[in-house]
Amino acid sequence: MLLEFMVKNFLSFEDAASLNMAGYGERIHPHHMVKGKGGNDVNLLRGALIYGANASGKSNLVKALAFVKDFVTRGREKSEPIGYTPYKFSHPDTWTRFEIAVKTKGNIYRYEITLLHGRVLIETLSRSGAHTERLIYKRTTNEEGIAELELGSRFAKLTKKEKQFITFVARGTRPNVLFLTESVERNVKVFDFMVDWFTDSLLIVTPNDKPTNLGAQLVANPDLARFVNKFIGAADTGISRLNVEPVPGTDPGQHPGETRYHLTTQHRSQLGHTEHTFELDEESDGTKRLIDLLPAYYKLTTTPELVVVIDEMGRNLHPELIAYLCEWYFDINPNPVSQLIFTTHHPSLMDLSRLRRGEIWFCEKAPDGATELYSLLEFGNTRYDKDVQTAYRQGRYGAVPRPAQVVDWGKDVV
């Protein structure tokens, strides 16, 4: 699960900005928190909603997290650039930094990446204790582009040969590749757990994402099919079920042995006497968006400690449907050990009868265009009965658009 994510000097983030999922001492909605087991463990919030005006940087936060996942899991080819964009107004010698703290395998790990001039400058993995950070490894890249490695005390029991091999792998790690990625590719098993977290426990859904071959998923997984059909029925879409039919023949991009499927929707008349089949393209954009989101929602019910991050959750969806998706996650989802983080423009969800203060976040664009990230907790002891939605609309928390007033639209306003 996610404890914290920090980004600095990336896209619209000039200074360090952190999304913190630690559960602080709020009494309301205790089921919105995954309680730690004591000792070095921590309480983690199950959700976070991120608000902000257009171009405030909400999507850039998701892009930053997606970049780190891609960099860790995919790596880079020899001549391939890392592919990141520092804050446009920063000095060319300013470091770009990412820091992520996660809970996996019963422990909390902190992973840090520092980039400069298109290469990995510093990379650190450590294990968090109650009051200390225990280094697992620190990789630095010298001026010649050679990686140097410092191993933590947990490797003291390794044989000399094992240490030499890990050091050999580190020195062979190119400046555009993470040692974490290189080590797993070279079969250094001790770091598998961290790459596995990015691969298996972090799911990011962008506004234009479509489930890969949804028809095949529905055929292969009857539980998923039942979940999707039940959800779209409960969401008042007018759809009674999805139909999945194999498509004869092959497409140019089709893999050998792969079957293509055609999806249609089945509608029943309000009187219940007749049924009609519709093409998926005939459905509304909101219905198609809902169908696109449901595989991720299904995984929230079946995958312990899964973190799902959705950019523009409310795209094409009615506010009441977004509220239903939110309430379903917190109140009905049978898997309470998971996290849902999403960006949204809908203030109707900003209600302390629905959410904890620590679950409400804001992205604000500063006068220089840089993004600032903060939560409702930073506004002091906000009363639980306060109308935070109205306060937000009035601009008391920032993160709302402020359109300029044009006196005369008949004149040149450029």
Which residue type occupies 274?
Answer: T
pLDDT band at 252 (very low <50, low <70, confident <90, very high): low
- Which tens digits make up the pLDDT trace of 206-235? 999 999 889 999 999 999 999 999 999 999
* Superfamily for the 1-201+305-404 domain: P-loop containing nucleotide triphosphate hydrolases (3.40.50.300)
Q: Which tokens sit at 309?
A: 């991050």
Every domain of the chain and the residues it spans = 1-201+305-404, 210-302
Q: Report the pLDDT value the prediction gives residue 130, as an integer from 0 to 100.
A: 66
Q: What is the mean pLDDT of residues 396-405?
A: 86
**Portion of the chain with pLDDT greater than 70, in percent:** 95
Predicted local confidence at residue 26, as pLDDT:
85
- Please determine, for residue 414, whether its predicted confidence score (pLDDT) is greater than 60: no
The mean predicted confidence, pLDDT, of the chain is 92
Q: Is 413's pLDDT higher than 60? A: no
Q: Is the pTM of this model over 0.85?
A: yes
Q: How confident is the model at residue 38 (pLDDT cuts 50, 70, 90)?
A: confident
Helix (H) or strand (E) holding 343: strand 339-343
Model confidence at 34, in pLDDT bands (50, 70, 90)?
A: very high
Q: What is the pLDDT of residues 265-285, one digit of tens each?
A: 999 877 767 889 999 999 999
Band of pLDDT at residue 383, cut at 50, 70 and 90 = confident
End-to-end CA distance of the chain: 48
Residues 6+ apart with CB under 8 A from 111: 99, 100, 101, 102, 124, 125, 180, 194
